[in-house]
Structure 1
Amino acid sequence: MPQVDLEEIMAYLRGTNERRTYPLWQEDDCLAFIARGREYRSEFHLNPSFEMQYSLKGPLHLHWRTPEGKEQVSVVPEGHCLYQAPMVPHSPRFGPDAFQLVIERKRRPGEIDRFHWYCPACDNFLHEETFVVADYGADPVSRAYDNFFSSMEFRTCRKCGTVMPDR
């Protein structure tokens, strides 16, 4: 049974600007990774799996949307964990020196992850990116961000004209 040195992985992620996640394992029924700082997040992720998020270092501010579309924030202090049901639109935000251990179910064939952005001025829906996540090491969040932020059309609100600022 392999052991993982979480302190060593956090030190590695602190020392690189190229990576914000470190996959620990990816099995058929479970995947786990360490995530560093998500202060830049602006999208809401709809994951077809459950998620368990454990605050290793620093607090997590989990922005999420109710079934009616209202944005809420749950604060998960260091040393605490949160369980999240599938398909809850969520946006985990935490400082650049904070770390989360995330455990979820590996995606089943045909499952799609969705990433939604909303207007910062009027909260109107802006854009959706979709990905089939076969390998979390491929960093689907960064790919979704690249697609969204490279398009002025995607970032411009059709209701009020506000342009989502670049990252």
Structure 2
Amino acid sequence: MVVLDKFEMPNIDLDGIVKHLKETGKYTHQLWLNDESLAFIARGRTYRSEFHINPSYEIQFSLIGDLDLHYRTPEGETKIAHVPQGSVLYQEPFVPHSPRFAPDAFQFIIERARKPGEIDRFHWFCPKCDNFLHEETYVVDDYRKDPVGRAYDNYYTSLEFRTCKKCGTVAPGRD
């Protein structure tokens, strides 16, 4: 039997967090992080184009607005799972996925906390010929460190990373 010294069940004000994200212009707010799970609220980004590959499952709840979850099959085909407001999607680990939703839309996401040594990958592909463009890797152990934002900064500030070596197309920058 496990004896808990401190037992908390926080009541989280999701409306207040959405308001805070809108007012500050931030894109994520971590709700909790413990040995088993992490949860956060994410706001949409118009420039999102990468495919995130992580070792955890994801549970994505469309809190406000709709989500179009672009994902790549093992054969490299891109498909879209539409998640309307009020709906939830469960995603298996290691599925290359790109959650795309409007800046005024918000997702509530729960994931398994990463185990030591696990790496998250971010892949970009050419918008014209689908050739692999670039990979960023991060240890995602705390969303307050903004690993996704750092991956975007590295990619979008580099013309070299955004230029296709196969067809010469330059992928768009951030708008």
Bin of the TM-score, shorter chain as denominator length: over 0.9
Q: What TM-score do the two structures reach when normalised by structure 1?
A: 0.97
2:111 aligned residue (104, 116, 122): 104
The amino acid that maps onto 1:65 is R
2:68 aligned residue (61, 86, 99): 61
Cα deviations across residues 125-147 of structure 1 (Å, max 9, x unaligned)? Answer: 00100011121111111100111
Greater shift, 133-142 or 98-107, is seen at 133-142
1:12 partnered with 2:20 = yes
Greater shift, 123-132 or 133-142, is seen at 133-142
User: Please, what is the CA RMSD of the aligned residues?
Assistant: 0.7
The amino acid that maps onto 1:107 is R
User: Are 1:57 and 1:78, in contact at CA under 8 Å, matched by a contact in 2?
Assistant: yes
User: Are 2:44 and 2:102, in contact at CA under 8 Å, matched by a contact in 1?
Assistant: yes
Q: Give the Å deviation of 1:39.
A: 2.3
What's the counterpart of residue 125 of structure 2?
118
Return the alpha-carbon distance in structure 1 between the equivalents of residues 151 and 164 of structure 2.
18
Q: Give the 3-state SS of the residue equivalent to 2:20 in structure 1.
A: helix
1:151 aligned residue (145, 158, 167): 158
Between the two proteins, the alignment pairs up a number of residues equal to 166
The amino acid that maps onto 1:144 is A
Greater shift, 146-155 or 54-63, is seen at 146-155
Return the alpha-carbon distance in structure 2 between the equivalents of residues 64 and 102 of structure 1.
17
Q: Give the Å deviation of 1:38.
A: 2.7
- Unmatched 5+ residue regions in structure 2? 1-8
User: Are 2:47 and 2:173, in contact at CA under 8 Å, matched by a contact in 1?
Assistant: no
Return the alpha-carbon distance in structure 2 between the equivalents of residues 83 and 106 of structure 1.
16
Q: Specify the structure having the higher radius of gyration (Cα).
A: 2
1:2 aligned residue (3, 10, 14): 10
User: Are 1:38 and 1:92, in contact at CA under 8 Å, matched by a contact in 2?
Assistant: no
Give aligned-pair identity as a percent. 66
Q: What TM-score do the two structures reach when normalised by structure 2?
A: 0.93
